[in-house]
Structure 1
């Protein structure tokens, strides 16, 4: 196996989907016996040492907590560190790569929606489009989390498909598991539900996640119910469009917005929901869908991009408009038997996605890079 340097310095500390990708990969590389180096933020060094005791964990300079400084360090300090630690391959797990490092570089491109859905991203889109173009052009290998993302890169960037490797994400079955009654109760108390059932959403609140249409569809689905559930929107920040959608719904419709959720609360939050709704307009993979299935939650998502690769026949599907969401969600809320079928199918489906299998695919990509 080649000695690889994994650049985790760009990974945010919010334990979101990108963080869970790098954490899952690093731990699985350790289990696979890989020889590798992890460079990270100084505050994260002990975390990565616990995840991968066999890895050489190198804290980066304090300045890389600033994006501009980190990007500058990526071009100069990172290649120097790679040579000092004897790395044969650099893996950049988040779009941008060092140029002129003299070493083969592998980059993970998580999705192509910066190109296909630019209006769904806001001011960050131009940076990520530029970084992705550069990375796809100059990296020796490109890792993507789904066949849909591979096909989109070929379509929108004329990327060479022979240089793209698909490595599905895994799910940490220890963290994401069918919750106990106590875990469900603790999560519900944290959200102030006091015994009220709920529909859950987990993810960033950027436009492509389609949260405003979820709110409108949910309101229409529950308006005639005698004991309507709440809608709990976990994760992200409060966006103006989400605020506007909340103002549109009747006062009797309860929408709870706790913001970012602690990792220990996620199994109870997901597994305790009547339905986990994730009506995204486009994903590179769709990790919340996989994690919800692993927690035993019935999932409602869309047919868009990679989501059918993750959900298969184990989830329910809807179009992303509010009327379709209302119909599909109403059908699920009215059918406990269907929710039970999805719960069992989702648990079985989630067991097919492991970080160990993902790490093997990454190791194969590293090997191809030096060949």
Structure 2
């Protein structure tokens, strides 16, 4: 029997972050499997999904749900009605929240548990909201999907969810996009950053407290301030709510360069990541760590932390540091001084990144849908 699955993709922002990248990666190979896929999307996303997945049915949600409070209300009322109208066997809610009365088995993706373990790195409102959403999903969903073993363990402990109810589906990486860049791509991106002919370090991610960007800035300053031709620091990604970043940038000594390009288009990411001397991602904790995997696939030398899921991604193919500026500085200095070590890690990174595929993630999602359908609205896997 072919399952008919409705996936609610209305929570994706137009500027694709981690959740958007996850759905853009896993849905096309999922549509190629033995599943009848229906997507409900914001109107601005309908054409793109229909083009990438011609075998899937794509439905436009009401335009009013562009406002978040309206979307959350629609999720509780309009989404169950839509699931019934399209005769879905399973509903997949891929971003923590779900309708309380869905009328059919629900699969929920829970991306990380730092709302429980590190509440200080989130706003108070956001933390309360996502803790409640995760607990609700743990009680009401038929199956949860987590992107790492670390996230599953944290959700089990903090939200008291039966571990048998949680599937682990590592994210993948699209190596047709994220690959070592040609020299022309490196030069084009460097020129767009105002760094033509210059070395630089790169960070990619939303500028929020969890990403530990102020400590990265201070660590970079300590590592390069007294070196000839110090590499610049590129802080790429959407602005979040980290109030300390501006002060850390303002304290950077004269003669050092910080570039803040904001959101970087997908086509430019290989040139940005693969062109960096080091991609630094000293996060306080990740549910998966997709920027690390994408940098690895681009042949970058990556420096990250050993917090939560990051070692699952990096393995022995990346360098690790602590979360304080002194540890970051020490490891940056070591890597910048050793071109051979950078080449060694870059080669290992490409090999390891090839093990993470969206096709495998899609197969695990299909297993989760089948388990949900077999066990009913709130049955265990």
Distance (whole Å) between structure 2 residues aligned to residue 4 and residue 231 of structure 1: 44
Q: Which residue of 1 aligns with 2:184?
A: 182
Deviation string 1:236-264 (CA, Å, 9 cap, x unpaired) is 21642111111222112211111110111
Distance 1:38 1:319 in 2: 41
Partner residue in 1 for 2:368? 365
Runs of at least 5 residues in structure 1 that lack an aligned partner in the other structure: none
The residue correspondences of 1:45-124 to structure 2 (distance < 5 A) are 45-123=46-124, 124=126
Q: 1:328 aligns with which of 327, 331, 335?
A: 331
| Equivalent position to 2:301, from 290, 298, 302 | 298
Asked if the contact 1:27/1:51 (under 8 Å) is kept, the reply is yes
1: CA distance, partners of 2:171 / 2:164 = 20
Structure 1 segments, 4+ long, off by >6 Å, are none
Instruction: Check whether the contact 1:36–1:87 (CA below 8 A) recurs between aligned residues.
Output: no
The residue that corresponds to 2:379 in the other structure is none
1:365 CA displacement: 0.5
8 Å Cα contact 2:134-2:159 kept in structure 1: no
Structure 2 distance, partners of 1:203, 1:57, is 29
Aligned residues: 371
Could you tell me how far 1:174 is from its partner in structure 2?
1.3
Looking at structure 1, the residues matched to 261 and 37 of structure 2 have their Cα atoms a distance apart, in angstroms, of 38
Q: How many Å separate the matches in 2 of 1:6 and 1:221?
A: 46
Question: Does structure 2 retain, via aligned residues, the 8 Å contact 1:23–1:51?
Answer: no
1:319 corresponds in structure 2 to 322
Preserved CA contact (<8 Å) 1:88 1:103:
yes
Secondary structure (helix, strand or coil) at the match of 2:3 reads: coil
SS of the aligned residue for 2:226 comes to coil
Q: Which runs of 5+ in 2 are unaligned?
A: 375-381
Compute the displacement of 1:194 (Å).
Answer: 2.0
* Alpha-carbon distance, 1:9 to partner: 0.7
What is the TM-score when the length of structure 1 is the normalising length?
0.98
User: What SS does the corresponding residue of 1:232 show, helix, strand or coil?
Assistant: strand
Deviation digits for residues 107-147 of structure 1, max 9, x if unmatched? 00000001111110114211111111111211110000000
- The 2-side partners of 1:34 and 1:314 are apart by 35
Give the drift of 1:26.
Answer: 1.0
Is the CA contact 2:285–2:307 (under 8 Å) kept in the aligned structure 1?
A: yes
Moved more, 80-89 or 40-49: 80-89
CA contact (8 A) 2:301 2:318 kept: yes
The SS at the match of 1:38 is: strand
Contact 1:32 1:356 survives alignment (8 Å): no
Q: CA deviation at 1:16?
A: 1.2
* Contact 1:276–1:297 (8 Å) recurs in 2: yes
Matches within 5 A, 1:216-365: 216-237=218-239, 239-365=242-368
Instruction: State the alpha-carbon separation in 1 of the partners of residues 190 and 346 from structure 2.
Output: 19
Instruction: Measure, in 2, the Cα distance between the counterparts of 1:227 and 1:72.
Output: 55
Alignment partner, residue 45 of structure 2: 44
Q: 1:33, CA displacement in angstroms?
A: 4.2
Alpha-carbon offset, residue 154 of structure 1: 1.0
Give the drift of 1:32: 2.3
Superposed CA RMSD: 0.9
1:166-212 C-alpha deviation (Å, 9 max, x unpaired): 00000111111110111101100110012110000000111010000
Give, in whole Å, the separation in 2 of the partners of 1:262 and 1:355: 21
CA drift of 1:368 comes to: 0.5
Q: 2 CA distance for matches of 1:142 and 1:30?
A: 20
